[in-house]
Amino acid sequence: MKICRNPFNIYFLCLGLVVTPFTAGAAESPKGGAQTNESAKVADPKAKPKKRKKETVTIRVHVEALVGGTTPGTPVTVLRSNPMVVNVEKDPVVDESRLEEARLIDGPGGPEIELQFDSQGRTMLGNYTAAHRGQRLAIYSDFGKDHRWLAAPVITRIASNGTIRFSPDATLDEAQRIVENLNRQAGVSKKKKDDW
């Protein structure tokens, strides 16, 4: 009796061809277990970025205290790269409750933030900038866990249109966070005012 080895080898060959496609898709993970190609995918660079976490952001615009005025100013340090001390009045001229819109603008020295205030904010800002021309406005913000004096621009004109534009002491990402969250809050605030 003669034993034929060829059919036996063909069976192993066929078995190998059938099993190989199922095992070829598995990759070895660093911990020794198998992981599928689905979990080993690289993030798609064209995928939409995750939405930022909503943060409560404040913005306070203070005017520089008059030298020899009736109320002493509070000294604050503005700018981190080239610090300067400005004496500011304790109470802000306007804050985020009067804000209609914030914009991020590409300025010549980097990002700039433009704040547009509502009619009451326009009036208050116009009155203060008329009375304090040549002095500084100190702009303070809390955003997330960060807080700092963002800028202290000199008042060169009356802000009768209720708009302030300044270069913040902030990175582009921080400036975007501030603007996005101020606009979100302004929209919520405006909706509440409209409901009254």
Same domain, 100 and 176: yes
Indicate whether this model's pTM tops 0.75.
Answer: no
Please report whether residue 46 resides in a domain: no
**Is residue 51 assigned to a domain?**
no
CA nearest to 180, candidates 68, 52, 72: 52
SS (H, E, C) the chain: CCCCCHHHHHHHHHHHHHHHHHHHCCEECCCCCEECCCCCCCCCCCCCCCCCCCCCEEEEEEEECCCCCCCCCEEEEECCCCCEEEEECCCCCEEHHHEEEEEEEEECCEEEEEEEECHHHHHHHHHHHHHCCCCEEEEEEEECCEEEEEECCECCCCCCCCEEEECCCCCHHHHHHHHHHHHHHHHHHHHHHHHC
**Whether pLDDT at 130 is above 80:** yes
- Residue 190 confidence (pLDDT): 55
Q: What distances in angstroms separate CA 73 from CA 68, 85, 148, 165, one per listed residue? A: 10, 11, 18, 24
Query: Would residue 48 count as lying in a domain?
Result: no
Same domain flag for 25 and 66: no
Determine the pLDDT at residue 28: 40
Same domain, 176 and 102: yes
Are residue 83 and residue 127 in the same domain, yes or no? Answer: yes
Is residue 15 scored above 80 in pLDDT? no
Residues above pLDDT 90, as percent of the chain? 56
Domain co-membership, 128 together with 160: yes
Q: 119 with 28, same domain?
A: no
* R_g (Cα) of the chain, nearest Å: 31
Q: How confident is the model at residue 41 (pLDDT cuts 50, 70, 90)?
A: very low
Q: Is residue 43 part of a domain?
A: no
pLDDT (average), residues 30-59? 53
Tell me if 189 is assigned to some domain. Answer: yes
Arithmetic mean of pLDDT over the chain = 78
Q: Does 29 lie in the same domain as 73? A: no
Domain that holds residue 14: 6-35
For residue 12, the model assigns a pLDDT of: 47
Q: Are residues 99 and 14 in the same domain?
A: no
Structural domains of the chain, count = 2
pLDDT-based confidence at residue 146 (cuts at 50, 70, 90): confident
Query: Do 77 and 31 reside in the same domain of the chain?
Result: no
Within a domain: residue 82? yes
Do 102 and 115 meet the contact criterion of CB atoms below 8 Å apart?
yes
In a domain, 10, yes or no: yes
Provide mean pLDDT across the span 101-124.
95
CATH number at residue 110: 3.30.1360.200
CB 76 within 8 A of CB 151: no
Q: In this predicted model, what pLDDT tens digit does every residue of 65-108 receive, in sequence order?
A: 977 766 778 999 999 999 999 999 999 999 999 999 999 999 99
Residues 27, 62 within the same domain? no
- Sign (positive or negative) of CA dihedral 105, 111, 112, 113: positive
Does residue 107 sit in the same domain as residue 13?
Answer: no
User: Same domain for 86 and 138?
Assistant: yes
User: How many Cα atoms sit within 13 Å of 28 on the Cβ side?
Assistant: 3
> In this predicted structure, what is the pLDDT of residue 69?
67
**Is residue 178 one of the residues assigned to a domain?**
yes
pLDDT recorded at residue 113: 97
Give the residue-averaged pLDDT of 179-194: 74
